[in-house]
Amino acid sequence: MNTLHEQAERLCAQSSSEIQADHFDTAEALLVRALDMDPGMAEAHANLAWLLDRRGSVSEAVRHYELAIEAQPDNARIHLNFGAKLAELKFFHAAEAAYQKALLVDPTLPGTWRNLGVLLAQNGRDAEAEAHLRKALALDPKHAAAHVNLACLLLRQGRFDEGWHHLEFRHWVNPIEKRLRCSRWKGQPLQDRVVLVMCEAGFGDTIQFCRYVAVLRALGAAQVDVLSHPDLKPVLQTLDGVGDVFGFEDDTSVSDWDYWVPAMSVPLYALTQLDTIPAAIPYVWAPADRLDPWRQMVDRLSPRPALRVGLVWHGNPASENDAQRSLPSLQTLAPLWRATGVQFFSLQKGNGEREVKRFKGQQPLIDLAPELQNFADTAASIMQLDLVISVDTAVAHLAAALGKPCWLLLPAYMTDWRWLKERTDSPWYPQVMRLWRQPKGNDWTPVLAQVCEALQTLAQPASQNT
């Protein structure tokens, strides 16, 4: 007869198969039964912790990680996974201790060195972070996540030479790539060639890197086409020198390109340095047919001479660092309402739209969001404003690329690499973008106090003319 331990092991193995099949409820039930039979089974506790965390039972997940470690303190992977959970919860000291324990047990796991490197980088300990990430790559030269994390660290420091190289290891999945009959461009001569730039990542990334269409033309390409999210097509069609612009759902079978290239790979092969960023502003325009309707609408809603300021306070909630970059709520912007001579407009789409309705009458805000059907409308509306104040999301990139002044609110934790370190300006958007950084923690209060003061100074000439 099988012992209880053997039965528990069998259930644990079955649960692993269920997890691989995405049958998470079944897997959890099997692990609970296994632990009823053998409460000291470390693997079952660790796997159950992962499942509980996945469905949001964080405190229970932490408890099972602790039980797993108690049962098997010499298991480096359990320490590693527990550290990742603690880091996600921002228990930084505890997370670092968990990673260090994992390294004591097994210093050969590249994932531990990588995770600890990321944790150190996120907390401003760049030199230590770089050393740990390089150790991960020494153990596993193909560790993609370590390459990308090192890329972000180097790019944030302005070390573009090596940074672009490591960024090439980023995860790239696009089913359209498999249908292309051309090879990927990696710096080959472009004279008289036709190139497809394939946009990647988020809307903001696309807007930031679509400027490289002009660079490829300058390198000799006879035509540069763009493949992007369909919502951006009308804006991308205004790029100087662009050929055809396709949406991801469009039929590209009749097109004949010599090369294709992901948009964020062009800086590597174009040898972009910090002081050679192609930054002719503006480089996109609002579609001409949208400008007059939006001018008439905004003029009707806000007669001059008030300073017109657009606001965006939420990014895409699916983004990794959205909890840091987005404001807690519209009410966080309340200090700005004290500025006189200013008319605020909401450009916020998504969850934030409900906040505008909920707090209607409690803030001097005109809601443009219902009329913003796509990025063409957003671009045309921005052109009627004097300033956009935004968190780190696509609208900020769009405003700056249009040449409109943009004040960008940046978190202290997990600040994106593209904004570099400690600067109050951006070489990607010179003269038009001003960076406002949290001094520490997750407190927006001092940032918004400074923004309000600067806004009042900017608005003073308008208010004096009223």
Residue with tokens 């990025």: 375
User: CB count, 10 Å around CB of 186?
Assistant: 11
Inter-residue contact 385 to 396 (CB < 8 Å): no
Pair of tokens at residue 438: 């949290």
Pair of tokens at residue 375: 């990025």
In Å, what is the CA distance from 366 to each residue of 48, 363, 370, 459? 48, 9, 11, 18
Query: Where do the domains of the chain lie?
Result: 4-167, 183-276, 288-464
Peptide bond into 305 cis (omega under 30): yes
Angle between helices 42-54 and 76-88 (to 10 degrees): 20
pLDDT in tens, 232-244: 999 999 998 899 9
Pair of tokens at residue 347: 């450009």
User: CB count, 10 Å around CB of 318?
Assistant: 7
More confident residue, 1 or 133: 133
Q: Which residues contact 236 (CB under 8 A, 6 or more apart)?
A: 206, 210, 226, 228, 242, 245, 284
Query: What average pLDDT score do residues 258-283 get?
Result: 95
CATH architecture of the region 288-464 = 3-Layer(aba) Sandwich (3.40)
Pair of tokens at residue 460: 């003073």
pLDDT at 1 over 60: no
pLDDT in tens, 350-393: 878 888 877 666 667 899 999 999 999 999 999 999 999 999 99
Q: How far apart are CA 398 and CA 395, in angstroms?
A: 5
Torsion of CA 380, 382, 386, 391, to 10 degrees: -170
* Partners of 79 in beta bridges: none
What is the H or E stretch that residue 314 is in? none
Query: What average pLDDT score do residues 426-446 get?
Result: 92
Q: Residue 343: is it exposed, middle or buried by C-beta count within 10 angstroms (0-12/13-18/19+)?
A: buried
pLDDT at 314 over 60: yes
* Partners of 195 in beta bridges: 224, 259
In Å, what is the CA distance from 110 to each residue of 42, 107, 117, 135, 375? 22, 8, 10, 7, 42
pLDDT at 40 over 80: no
Q: What is the CATH number of domain 4-167?
A: 1.25.40.10
Pair of tokens at residue 356: 């505008």
More confident residue, 258 or 364: 258
The yes-or-no answer to whether 183-276 and 288-464 have a common fold is: yes
Torsion of CA 371, 373, 376, 378, to 10 degrees: 50
Q: State the fold for domain 183-276.
A: Rossmann fold (3.40.50)
pLDDT of residue 48: 79
pLDDT at 173 over 70: no
Amino acid occupying residue 255: S
Q: How far is CA 449 from the centre of its chain?
A: 26
pLDDT at 328 over 70: yes
Query: What average pLDDT score do residues 42-46 get?
Result: 78
Confidence band of 172 (pLDDT split at 50, 70, 90):
low
Inter-residue contact 313 to 408 (CB < 8 Å): no
Classify 253 as helix, strand or coil: coil
User: CB count, 10 Å around CB of 461?
Assistant: 11
Confidence band of 4 (pLDDT split at 50, 70, 90):
low
